[in-house]
Amino acid sequence: MTAKLTSTSPVPQYSLGPIEKLPLRLDIKRKLTARSDRVKCVDLHPGEPWMLASLYNGNVHVWNHESQQLVKSFEVCDLPVRAARFVPRKNWIVTGSDDMTVRVFNYNTLERVHSFEAHSDYVRCIVVHPTQPYLLTSSDDMLIKLWNWEKQWSCQQVFEGHTHYVMQIVVNPKDNNTFASASLDRTVKVWQLGSSTPNFTLEGHEKGVNCVDYYHGGDKPYLISGADDRLVKIWDYQNKTCVQTLEGHAQNISAVCFHPELPIVLTGSEDGTVRIWHAGTYRLESSLNYGLERVWTIACMRGSNNVSLGYDEGSIMVKVGREEPAVSMDVNGGKIIWARHSEVQQANLKAMNEGAEIKDGERLPLAVKDMGSCDIYPQTIAHNPNGRFVVVCGDGEYIIYTAMALRNKAYGSAQEFVWAQDSSEYATREGSSTIKVFKNFKEKKAFKPEFGAEGIFGGFMLGVRSVTGLAFYDWELLELVRRIEIQPRHVFWSESGELVCLATDDSYYILRYDSSIVARAQETKEGMTEDGVEDAFIFLGEIHETVKTGLWVGDCFIYTNGVNRINYYVGGEIVTISHLDRTMYLLGYVPRDNRLYLGDKELNIVSYSLLLSVLEYQTAVMRGDFETADKVLPTIPRSQRTRVAHFLEKQGFKQQALAVSTDPEHRFDLALHLGELKIAHQLAGEAASQQKWRQLAELATSKGQLELAQECLHNAQDYGGLLLLATASGNAAMVQKLGDTCDEAGKNNVAFLSHFLLGNLEGCLDILINTNRLPEAAFFARTYLPSKISAVVGLWRDLLSKVSEKAGQSLADPKDYENLFPGFLDTLKTEQFLKRERQQRLPADAYQQVPPNYERTPVEEMKAAEASGRFHYIPSSGESGEDLEMLNEETDKISEVSVGQLVTLLPVSSKLPPPPTIDPKKLDPELLDDPDLDEELELDIANLNLDLDNIDTLEKPLPVHPTEIRTSISPSSAVELNTTSALANYATEVRGLFIATQLVVHKQVNHDWYRNLSHSLSLRTERNTSHVPLSSALSIRSKRNTSHVPLSSALSLYQDQEQHISCSSI
C-alpha cells in the first residue's frame, strides 16, 4: 500500500479573485462581480442570497450572489435612484429617487404596491426601522421625515435642523429610538423619535459629511463618519468627542461602516479604494481596489461576513473571514464556551431540566453565563482533550485560560495553535517556517520543517501542511513518521489513534495508522525512506464529499458536509443522520446522553439523537466481529432496530436484517428476497394488503407452492391469476368455483371464460343476456346453442324496437323464417349431439389425439352418428319422459368411451379443399340481368320484412362488430340496384353481408360471386384472415374460443349437386 494521495480541485465556473491574507488572518474572497451603470446604493437580504443595487440610470437590480445571476430587475424611473432598501417582513423593496418620490415594490410579484412624493428635492437616503412600521427618509431639502406604512404612509414626524443636504441617516442598533444623520453642513446630528430637534451635534469635519454609522458592539458607544475632507473620524457619542481620526484616502470619503460581526472598519472613497482598519487598534489591515472607479456605497449585515460594495462601473460582493463561530465544547463536563466579539460566554448542558424533552433539531434552552472579555479578538476557541483548559487564538496571539473561571494560564505569539492527544502538550506556528512544541506550558522544542509550514494539525500526531503535502511528526521525538502528497484542510484523529481522516476541498480519505510497524521501523531502520515509514498508513477509502466539520466516536467518523447533512462513515458505509436547514458546525458527542451537539453561526445550539450502541453494533459488523455484535444488539432499543436492519441489508446480511427489523414493510420485503414463505404469509395476513398477497402469490408459484399461491390470489381477489392457476393445474372444480364467485362479484370476463372452458354454454349465454349484450348473445346462441336462438332474438328485438321499430322488425327468428336458415334442424341436432361431448373431461395427455376444431365438420359427424345409430335426436318441443331417459342413457354411454374411441367416432377430415385466395382488386363481376332472379329477390326481401326505404332511419346507427352480420344499405342506393348480381355486388362493397349471404344461400349468384363474398366476409373478420371460405369468415370469436363447440352458423351453401360447404367451427 502506498500512502501517496493526490487531490485535484475542479476549476470554478466563476473567478473568485485573489485571496489576501490579513494580520487578523481574515481571508477576503470575491463572491460576485456585477457590471452595470453607476451604483448609488446597495443592500443585503437577511433571508435570501440577494444583493440589491440601485443605479444612476433609474433601475434597481437584485443579484443572487451564490448563482451569480441577475434574478430581478425594476424600472423605477428615468432619474437616478439614490436609495433602495429591502423590507423582508413585507416582501418589499423601497426606493427613493431624484423625482422626489418614494416607491414600494413587491419583490415576489414585481408589482408596485405604493408610491408617494416624499420631499421637495432629491431623496438621498432611506432607512427601515428594525422593529416598527416606520420609514425614515432624508433629502436635499435638508429635512428628515418619518413615514408609517400601517397608517396609509402618513408622515408622522419631520426632523429639522440641518442647513444643507442630509446625505445619510442610520438607526442606533443598541437603541432603536435614536438615529444619527450626516449632512453637507459639516455636522453629524443625533436625533430621537418623538422630538423634532436633535439631541446633540458632533462637529469636527472641515467639509461636508457624506456618511455615518454606529458601532454594533456593546462595549463602545462609538459613531464613525466620513467627509469630503478625506478624513474618517471615530466619535464617542456619550462624551461627544472625537476619539480617533483615520487618514489615508486620497479623495472624498463616500461610505463608512462598522462591521457587525468582525472587529474591522470599512471605508470607501472616490479614490477607488476600500480600506479595512482594525476596530480596536485602528491600524490599516488592507486596501482593496477592484478597478471599478469611485466607491459610492458599502453595506454589511449582522450574522453574515458578506460585504457589498457599489462603484461607478458596477457592484462587488466579498466575503471577509470565515463564518464558522469561535465555539468549543467540553464533552466530559458538558460545557460549551463561545465568543461574541470579544465577550466570552459559557453554557452548561447539565443545567437543563432533566425532565425536559429534547427534540432533534430544536434549539436548546440554555442558560448563558458571561465569563468576561478577552484581551484579543477570538477567531478560534478550543478545549484541550481533558477539558481543563481552553485556548483563545486571534490577532496573531494566543491565550490559554482555565475552563472553569477563565483565568489566564499562558500566552504567546502564534498564527495557529493545536492541542496534542496528551492534554499537557500543544504546538504553535509562528509565520510560515517555525513550529514550537510546548509541554506543561514550557517550550519543549522548536523546529523548522523542511518544506515550510502553511498550517498545523493536532491530535495523535503533529501534522504540518506545506506546499508539497502533509507531514506527520511524532510528538515525543518530533521525528518524521510519514509524508503524504496531499494538502488537507482538516485532519481528524480517532481517540485510539488508529484511524485518521484527511479532508480536502472536495473529498476525504480514511487511513489506518499502524504504530507497531512504525516502532519496528524506528528501531531497525528498515522501511525508512526520506518520506518516513512507507507502510505507516493503510489506505481504507476515499469518499467524494466535502467535510465542513467532523469528529470520531469510536471507529465511526461523524461529519457535516457541503449540502448541510449530518452523516457518519463506518467501515466504508455512509449513513445519514439528518438533513439540516442551515449550515451547522459539530461541537461534540456526549455518550451518556446519546446525543450529538451542533451550533450555527448565531450560536444557537441544537442536538440530535445518536445511540452509541448502534454505532458499536455497526462497527462490530464491519469488523466481522459478530460475537460482539450479538452482545450489543440487546442494548439497542426497538425503535432503532429497523435502522440497524437497513444497515445489515446494505452489507448483504439479509437474514440477520430479517431477524433484527421491526418494520413490517421491511420484514416483508426481506422475507420475499429470502424466500421465507411462512414469514411472508404471516406478514401479508397482518397487513391485509392485496399488493402483498399478489407478491407472495408470485413467489409461491415460482416455488411450486400452488395451494399457497391459490390462497394468496384469492385474498388478493386476483381472479385472472386464479383462472390461470386453475387451468394450468387442470383443476375443473376450482374453475367451476371461480366462475360462480366471479358471477357474484360481477367479474363477467373471467366468469364467461370459466364457464366456457367447462363447456357450460348456457352459463355463458346467461352472462351475455344479464349484461345486456344481446347482439353477442344472439350470435353466440346461433353458433353454439341454436335451441336458444328464438328466445334471445326476441329479447334483442324488444331492445332494438325501443330505438327503432323498423330496425326491430328486421330481425328474423329462425323458428319463423326457416327458409332463411337452411339446415337449421341440422344445427339443432348437432347441438344435442355435441352436448354429450361437452360433458367430458379429457386428460391433458389426450391433447395430441384430439383433432383441432378447424379440422372438424360437426354436422357431418352428427349425420354419420345418426346414420350409424349412435345418436338419436329428441326434439325439445315434444320431449317425453322416455325420450329424456333415452338421452340420459346415451349420455352415460358416451362417458364410458375412451379417448381413442372418441377420436375414432368423430370423423374430422374435410372433403373440400379451401378456395384459392382472392385478390381484392378483382372483385368487380359482370352484372347479370335475369328477371327471374329479380323476382325471387323481391320475395326474399319481403320474407325478411326489410323495408329498404326506412332501414337507415334509425336514431342511432347499429354498431358494426366483426362477428355480427348485418345489413346497412341506404335507401337511395338500394333503389338503383335492379339485378340480383348488382345487389350482391353492392352488398359486398358496403358490407351488407346479411343480404349478400342470403343471395349466395339461395343460389342467386354464380360460383365466382360466392368466392368474392367469402373473401369480403374474411375482410370483415380480421382475426380469421387465414381462412378464405365463407365458413371461416362467419366464425365468431375466431381463435379466442378453444372449446369443442362447432358449427358457427350452420349455413349450408349448396354450390352444386355434389358439393356442400358448411361453416366450420373455430
The ranges assigned to domains in the chain are 36-160, 162-321, 327-610, 611-662, 664-716, 920-1061
Q: What CATH number was assigned to the domain covering residues 36-160?
A: 2.130.10.10
| Grid cell listed for 466 | 506545506
Cβ neighbours for 210, distance < 8 A, ≥ 6 positions apart: 167, 168, 182, 184, 226, 227, 228, 252, 253, 254, 255
Q: Do domains 36-160 and 162-321 have the same CATH topology?
A: yes
| Closest CA relative to residue 787, chosen from 809, 761, 807 | 761
SS3 content of the chain, % helix, strand, coil (to 5): 30, 30, 40
Going by the DSSP 8-state scheme, the letter that residue 460 receives in this structure is S
Three-state SS for 306?
strand
Q: CB-based burial of residue 879 (10 Å sphere; 0-12 exposed, 13-18 middle, 19+ buried)? A: exposed
Q: Let me know: does 36 contact 55? Beta carbons within 8 Å.
A: yes
pLDDT at 3: 38
Alpha helices in 125-165 (DSSP H): none
pLDDT at 980: 40
Q: Let me know: does 732 contact 841? Beta carbons within 8 Å.
A: yes
Q: CB-based burial of residue 824 (10 Å sphere; 0-12 exposed, 13-18 middle, 19+ buried)? A: buried
Three-state SS for 176?
coil
pLDDT at 24: 65
Cβ neighbours for 416, distance < 8 A, ≥ 6 positions apart: 393, 428, 429, 455, 456
pTM summary value: 0.61
Ranges of the chain with pLDDT below 50 = 1-22, 878-929, 933, 937, 940-1066
pLDDT at 459: 92
- The H or E element that residue 8 is part of is none
For 686, 695, 707, 719, the CA distances from 701, given in Å and listed in that order, are 21, 10, 9, 15
Angle value at C-alpha 117, between 114 and 118, nearest 5 degrees: 105
| Closest CA relative to residue 233, chosen from 277, 200, 173, 177 | 277
Cβ neighbours for 359, distance < 8 A, ≥ 6 positions apart: none
Query: Any long-range contacts for 472-475 (C-beta under 8 Å, 24+ apart)?
Result: 472/532, 472/536, 475/420, 475/421, 475/422, 475/425, 475/437
Name the pairing type of β-strands 537-543 and 50-55.
unpaired
pLDDT at 883: 41
What's the full length of the chain, in residues? 1066
* Residues paired with 427 in a beta bridge: 418, 437
Q: What CATH number was assigned to the domain covering residues 327-610?
A: 2.130.10.10
Supply φ then ψ for residue 40, to 5 degrees: -100, -20
Three-state SS for 881?
helix
Q: Which CATH architecture has domain 162-321?
A: 7 Propeller (2.130)
